[in-house]
């Protein structure tokens, strides 16, 4: 099939780079987002997120006429959905409302022969639910769950597997898992991604594709949990965890990751809970890893409180709010959560340092004892400096005061 027009729904950290890469291959791409600000920004050839080189690519593809943005889906040959899948509440039940809303919106413009791909990280079975919602909206069309290979519409799941800060390169170079509801769906989705993917497009079914993404991130979560638990144990034994890991990793079959102040982002911090939510009595190790990583911020806070206990009305500099180095993404960020919890202490004045944002996020902006501060000012004024994210600006940091470094930034 020749894909002349592609509609990408959701223009966030995954959707916008995906739309821009498709457009860079001289394919007409319509980007859709409910944020008028995001739409207007993109149509000016600019971007509303931080990702290296994305601004150049968006500017070029908009200027050449291959990329445009709007707030409602338009007719296309293929639809790629990259919308959020948050939790409904404290029990970590997946919230598919964004997927359902986007699905019902795009159903209005579906035509026979179209391909619909779900990229959003989802619990197993979400692609089938998307197909059912499409069928409810469009009884005049046939779908794979009823018509099999002869369906009017093809449906597949293709999870993204990219690293923020390296998204444009990894979109092109990484292998992609392509899971259709039928083999024909898989084949057509593979053709779509081969427009720009230089890695392998590996065929499977939709459920396996959904579980592959959850498995990848649950595995990483478990490895990080081991490192984070090790850091807590080393603190109790007065052992330098960074030196210990360096020594242990000299074993030819050991590769311990680096500990931090927790785990953030919309993948590793979220995806394992999708498995636990579906199988609470069986996913015991996965759940334990999540609880270990979710508990690390409380350990960090206890160390900060201990360092500031003898200081009257201390000023605490929190270096980093993003969930990983050198990006502006605050989703599920343990650094942001730590900063927020520290600001709950009325004794503390919080100087938040985040080089990649221009204003405090809403969770902090209404707190009188929190201010967005420069690194220079914070190092001068703070009584306690807490390094939460290994931004390049913080590497090799020194100061004439207490520094609590939870990411091994100062020793670099």
Active site residues: 213, 267
Contact between 370 and 343 under an 8 Å Cβ cutoff? The reply is yes
- C-alpha 144/C-alpha 380 separation (Å) is 63
Strands (E) in 28-96, as ranges, are 28-32, 67-70, 78-81
Q: Dig out the tokens for 54 from the structure.
A: 């994305």
- Cβ atoms < 10 Å from Cβ of 147: 13
Q: Where on the phi/psi map is residue 392: left (φ > 0), alpha (ψ -120 to 50), or beta?
A: alpha
* Nearest C-alpha neighbor of 333 from the set 387, 265, 261: 265
Bridging pattern class, strands 28-32 and 78-81: unpaired
What residues are paired with 404 via a beta bridge?
386
- C-alpha 165/C-alpha 49 separation (Å) is 11
Q: Give the CA angle between residues 362, 54, 58 to the nearest 5°.
A: 105
Who's near 406: CB < 8 A, 6+ residues apart? Answer: 259, 260, 261, 300, 386, 387, 388
- C-alpha 214/C-alpha 264 separation (Å) is 15
Q: Where on the phi/psi map is residue 13: left (φ > 0), alpha (ψ -120 to 50), or beta?
A: alpha
For 355, half-sphere exposure in the C-beta direction (CA atoms, 13 angstrom radius) is: 14
Q: Dig out the tokens for 13 from the structure.
A: 């950290």
Who's near 258: CB < 8 A, 6+ residues apart? Answer: 227, 242, 245, 407, 408
Coil, strand, or helix at residue 405? Answer: strand
Who's near 111: CB < 8 A, 6+ residues apart? Answer: 75
């Amino acid at each position: 099939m020749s894909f002349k027009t592609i509609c990408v729904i959701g223009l966030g950290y995954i959707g916008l780079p995906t739309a821009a890469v498709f457009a860079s291959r001289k394919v007409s791409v319509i980007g859709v987002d409910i944020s008028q600000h995001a739409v207007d920004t993109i149509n000016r050839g600019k971007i509303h997120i931080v990702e290296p080189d994305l601004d150049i690519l968006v500017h070029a593809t908009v200027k050449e006429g291959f990329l445009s943005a709007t707030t409602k889906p338009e007719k296309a040959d293929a639809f790629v959905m990259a919308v959020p899948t948050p939790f409904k509440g404290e029990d970590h039940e997946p919230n598919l409302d964004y997927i359902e809303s986007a699905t019902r919106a795009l159903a209005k413009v579906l035509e026979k022969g179209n391909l619909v791909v779900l990229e959003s990280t989802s619990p197993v079975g979400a692609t089938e639910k998307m197909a059912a919602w499409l069928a409810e909206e469009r009884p005049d069309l046939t779908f794979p769950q009823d018509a099999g290979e002869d369906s009017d519409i093809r449906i597949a799941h293709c999870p993204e597997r990219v690293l923020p800060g390296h998204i444009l390169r990894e979109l092109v170079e990484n292998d992609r898992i392509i899971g259709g509801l039928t083999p024909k769906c898989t084949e057509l989705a593979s053709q779509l991604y081969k427009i720009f993917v230089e890695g392998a497009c590996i065929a499977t079914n939709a459920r396996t594709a959904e579980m592959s993404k959850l498995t990848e991130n649950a595995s990483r979560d478990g490895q990080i949990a081991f490192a984070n638990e090790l850091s807590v144990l080393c603190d109790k034994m007065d052992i330098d965890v960074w030196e210990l890991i360096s020594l242990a990793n000299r074993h030819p079959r050991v590769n311990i990751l680096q500990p931090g102040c927790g785990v953030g982002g919309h993948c590793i911090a979220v995806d394992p809970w999708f498995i636990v939510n579906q199988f609470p009595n069986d996913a015991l190790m996965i759940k334990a890893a999540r609880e270990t990583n979710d508990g690390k911020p409380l350990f960090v806070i206890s160390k900060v409180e201990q360092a500031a206990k003898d200081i009257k009305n201390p000023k605490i500099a929190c270096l980093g709010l993003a969930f990983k180095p050198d990006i502006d993404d605050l989703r599920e960020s343990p650094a942001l959560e730590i900063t927020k919890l520290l600001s709950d202490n009325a004794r503390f004045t919080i100087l938040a340092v985040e080089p990649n944002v221009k204003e405090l996020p809403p969770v902090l902006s209404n707190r009188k004892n929190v201010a967005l501060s420069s690194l220079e000012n914070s190092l001068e004024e703070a009584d306690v400096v807490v390094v939460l994210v290994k931004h390049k600006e913080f590497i090799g940091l020194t100061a004439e005061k207490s520094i609590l470094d939870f990411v091994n930034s100062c020793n670099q």
